[in-house]
Amino acid sequence: MTSLLRLLSLAALAAFLSAGPAFSADRFTVGTYNLENYLDAAVSGGRNPKPADARAKVVESILAARPDILAVEEMGRESALLELRDTLRKAGLDYAHYEYAGGWDTNIFVALLSRFPIVARRSHTNENYLLNGRRLQVSRALIEVDIAVTPDYLLTAFVAHLKSRREVGFADQAAMRLAEARILREKVDDLLKARPDANVIVMGDFNDTKDTASTRALIGQGRLKFNDLRPAEDNGDNIPAPRSDWDPRNITWTHFYGKEDSYQRIDYLLVSPGLAAEWLPEATRVVTVPNWGLGSDHRPIIAGFAAKDR
């Protein structure tokens, strides 16, 4: 019996063994995509159902990437997720397994779609923290699941949609985001204390740029520092960075903010040292489609991995 199978409960093992062809993969891809209010019903705060043409562009963007595992943010009700999943299945991309989680924010949610069985679920839906003497709730759930990519390869995926940069009257938005990031990183560290070589990915919309306190908290430091994969457009750019302490000048932005006419990278794929060994840079990119902005103010990012521990 493999080390992976020893980790599985009997119920999870039954699901694993019944999954069939999904386990023939020798490589796999993982992506994340903020869908910008993928709603099928109006909710508070002025969020309305997503128009049909916008939903179609979301589907086109996902099909251009075809990730085996996809994290999504700003999802509406579970019915909206199932509608998206059914549309993708009809187009030839079948996600047989999913995780859907809600938190304090009852308007938008986080979810994960997977071609491979989800064999353990530990999503966190009621996290809170103390900030300046006030108890606050983490806005969205923090997804944590184990995915059996093959009989011998287990992936642990965390999905987050951290506090936006929109100001609120009761606390500093950056401090709130940092507190949420620290809670998530604590959960990652708890896992790695028990399984230091675990294949872990932390992904989603972190709502801030690379050199900020909240993003740095998620990346971590020292022996368990995570690798920021930094997907870029596959457009031929290959010049090195102008300075050793800078990133290259390829195109990595994932979000457009119309009010400021600004493009920033705020969506991430972070991988543990164990998973970094299997990373395939040539299968990692920002997904580009014409008129991408019809679907969302974000662009999807994906990364590829070998499905075997190295």
pTM: 0.92
The answer to whether the beta carbons of residues 144 and 122 sit under 8 Å apart is yes
Reported in sequence order, the residue ranges of the chain that DSSP labels E, i.e. its strands, are 27-38, 69-75, 97-101, 109-114, 118-121, 128-131, 134-137, 143-150, 153-161, 199-205, 227-228, 255-257, 262-264, 267-271, 279-286, 301-306
The DSSP symbol for 77 reads S
Tokens 């251009």 -> residue: 64
**pLDDT (tens digit, 9 = 90+) per residue, 106-161?**
999 999 999 999 999 999 999 999 999 999 999 999 999 999 999 999 999 999 99
| pLDDT at residue 111, as a whole number | 98
Reported residue count of the chain is 310
Domain ranges of the chain: 3-234+247-306
CA dihedral 100, 103, 109, 111 (to 10 degrees): -30
CA dihedral 278, 282, 286, 290 (to 10 degrees): -140
Q: Which of 211, 223, 230, 224 is nearest to 270 (CA)?
A: 230
**pLDDT (tens digit, 9 = 90+) per residue, 151-201?**
999 999 999 999 999 999 999 999 999 999 999 999 999 999 999 999 999
| Pairwise CA distance, residues 297 & 257, whole Å | 7
Q: Which of 34, 8, 2, 15 is nearest to 255 (CA)?
A: 34
- Looking at domain 3-234+247-306, what is its CATH homologous superfamily? Endonuclease/exonuclease/phosphatase (3.60.10.10)
